[in-house]
């Protein structure tokens, strides 16, 4: 199982990695995404927040997400509920990310293990949403790190647990980080075609 501790580890790794570029131009594009690095952090924070929110109601929603309003601040930008105050700068952006990560950590810790909530890729239990939070954090940190010229190599064990939970058909004998990037359409894997579309199994 993927746990709350795994989510916390992923978020702290992201903050540690990205803090090396706190003085960079965060309006640069995040890797191959059409979003800026700033927008991608906001999107990641929004993912973590929305995953946690699903387990807030006593009866988690199973037909749709919690009914927050999602808006984009520019054409082509990510639709989000969570935005960071630009006047607070990059430290404020990091604070928003850490806070939303903590929401998911806490909710995964207290939600009944057999609770089930909606996700477009399949309804899932808290450990499934923990795995989603880890994957979102790792791959979007990769996107942002590419845009900012940083190196990012998360631990193999963290990648492996998330792969086993969400991508059960992924090869098991390959490098775990490269496999997670491949499974999310972000990299090549020897002997496998590069994916042009992908999804996990909640």
User: Is pTM beyond 0.75 here?
Assistant: yes
Q: What is the mean pLDDT of the segment spanning 144-172?
A: 96
Tokens of 201: 């199994």
**Cβ(181)–Cβ(187) below 8 Å:** yes
85 phi/psi in degrees, rounded to 5: -70, 115
**Cβ(10)–Cβ(104) below 8 Å:** no
pLDDT at 164: 97
pLDDT at 201: 92
- Which domains does the chain carry? 4-183 (1.20.120)
pLDDT at 196 over 90: no
Q: What is the mean pLDDT of the segment spanning 60-87?
A: 95
pLDDT at 191: 86
pLDDT at 79: 96
- Give the Å distances, CA to CA, from 52 to 15, 134, 157: 19, 13, 23
Strand partners for 29: 36
Q: What is the mean pLDDT of the segment spanning 30-49?
A: 97
């Amino acid at each position: 199982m993927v746990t709350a501790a795994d989510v916390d580890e992923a978020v702290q790794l992201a903050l540690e990695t990205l803090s090396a570029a706190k003085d960079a131009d965060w309006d640069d594009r995040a890797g191959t995404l059409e979003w800026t690095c700033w927008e991608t952090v906001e999107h990641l924070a929004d993912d973590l927040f929305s995953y946690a929110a699903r387990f807030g109601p006593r009866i988690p929603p199973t037909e749709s997400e919690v009914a927050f309003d999602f808006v984009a601040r520019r054409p082509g930008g990510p639709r989000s509920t969570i935005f960071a105050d630009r006047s607070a700068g990059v430290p404020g952006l990091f604070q928003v990310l850490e806070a939303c990560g903590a929401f998911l950590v806490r909710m995964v810790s207290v939600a009944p293990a057999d609770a089930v909530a909606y996700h477009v890729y399949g309804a899932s239990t808290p450990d499934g949403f923990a795995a989603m939070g880890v994957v979102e954090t790792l791959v979007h940190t990769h996107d942002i790190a590419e845009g900012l010229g940083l190196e990012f190599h998360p631990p193999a064990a963290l990648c492996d647990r998330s792969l086993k939970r969400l991508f059960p058909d992924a090869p098991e004998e390959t490098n775990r980080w490269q496999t997670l990037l491949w499974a999310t359409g972000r990299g090549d894997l020897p002997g496998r075609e590069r994916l042009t579309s992908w999804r996990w199994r909640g």
